[in-house]
Amino acid sequence: MEWVVVVSVFVMIILSLLRVNVIIAIIAASITAGLMAGLDIVDSIETMVAGMGGQANTALSYILLGAFAVAISYTGITTILVNFLIRVLTGKKTMLMLAIAGVASLSQNLVPVHIAFVPILIPPLLKLFDQMRVDRRGVATALTFGLKAPYVMIPAGFGLLFHNTIVDGMEQNGAAPITVKETALAMLTPGLGMVLGLLIAIFITYRKDRDPVEGASGTGNVLIEPEVEKVTFNIKHFLTLVAIVAALVVQIITDNLIAGALTGLVLMFAFIVVPFKNGDRIVGEGISMMGMIAFVMLVASGFGNVLKETGAVDALIEATSGFLGDNQAMIAFILLFVGLLVTMGIGSSFGTIPILATLYVPICMAAGFSPLATAALIGTAGALGDAGSPASDSTLGSTAGLNADGKHHHIWDTVVPTFIHFNIPLFLFGWIAALLL
């Protein structure tokens, strides 16, 4: 029975790496687990569906934030930011990459638009990158840092979503109660590993001049140089900022991301910053952008339920305990390695956590890890692979902006640099955190 978890997870990983849609891959893994445990296909599917409600709150949060992000983009406020960066940072290569990392960081916590800003901010800057001979691998690293590190460390915006997912995953699997503040404390050390990786990338690895290669992506020149619009700050942009601040305040007061996102979205329409007649299109585009991740999380929660209900997790715990004993260092190392494989396959730290919590919590409890250490392992393992996965929205979003002119290769210019500079320090710092907390 202990092989049910191993085999089903590998089914999911292999299918995901073969570019099978991740939702189909997780469903296939769920059915595999059910069949191996003696259920038929219908019972396996019903058990999976019964467990999908565990992430409904998170999924709805994602969709509403997607709509809010589209509404913010609609106002053109990001164009003002582009013009400012070009005016202030021309000729300052290191400062430019640090600024991009900073702007990207705002997209996770303060202005939770996730990857929606990348195709607006980056393409107009490509000509500037070429003139300054900026190494685009460094820019990809800066972007991916901003799309990931803030939510790993800061429980606001998408960070609140991430940390609540850890809390829910631990509670649903029998761990001692833990708060969002405690998970943030647990993830501080792994997050500092990402900060170290960013500094190494910007100041050492990608500091030298590098000319982009025409057609590096294999698609040739796919973009005529975009014109940066001349946009001046106006009342519409001021009201957009009011809506953003209101969304953040409501989120903090209520500790509820849905309430915050809904507040921001309603105010955008109430202020007529976004015409009410465009409401269906705005929400539709938001679902299009974030809906995939939302459904991955729902199905992942269902997969975790199949593994629990069939008793496969209990069998794996017994086998693991007998093999590793109470060697916490080795257990933590193996759990993080498994997390790396799983998240690399799925490409979503948010979607992976419900699966990892199902596996990790019972093993960590049996091995004597504290709740903080368990949270550090789950959060780090969820973050591992996301930055370096070819299927991650963080890497895909970065490439979408940097490859607008066909001069940026997704694997060699985004995935490999982010894997080296983020996954290695994440693994080491997460391992240390699990042993010290």
Burial-class residue 266 by CB neighbours within 10 Å (0-12, 13-18, 19+). Answer: middle
Listing DSSP states for 168-227 in one string gives HHHHHTTPPP--HHHHHHHHHHHHHHHHHHHHHIIIIIT-S--PPPTTTTSS----PPPP
The confidence score (pLDDT) of residue 230 equals: 64
pLDDT value of position 303? 77
**Alpha-carbon Rg for the chain in angstroms:** 22
| 96 contact partners, CB below 8 Å, separation of at least 6 | 85, 89, 128, 132, 134
- How far is residue 101 from each of residues 234, 292, 333, 370, 388, measured CA to CA in Å? 26, 25, 29, 33, 17
pTM, entire model? 0.74
CA dihedral 70, 72, 75, 81 (to 10 degrees): -120
Q: 121 and 72 in contact (C-beta within 8 Å)? A: no
Query: What pLDDT was estimated at residue 225?
Result: 47
Q: How many Cβ atoms are within 10 Å of 119's Cβ, its own excluded?
A: 14
d(CA 386, CA 303): 19
CB 350 within 8 A of CB 165: yes
Task: Report the chain (437 residues): mean pLDDT per 10 consecutive residues.
Answer: 73 73 79 86 85 70 77 76 75 86 84 72 82 89 91 86 88 86 92 94 91 62 49 80 85 79 86 82 76 71 76 67 72 85 68 80 87 92 77 77 81 87 93 92
Backbone angles phi, psi at 256, to 5 degrees: -135, 115
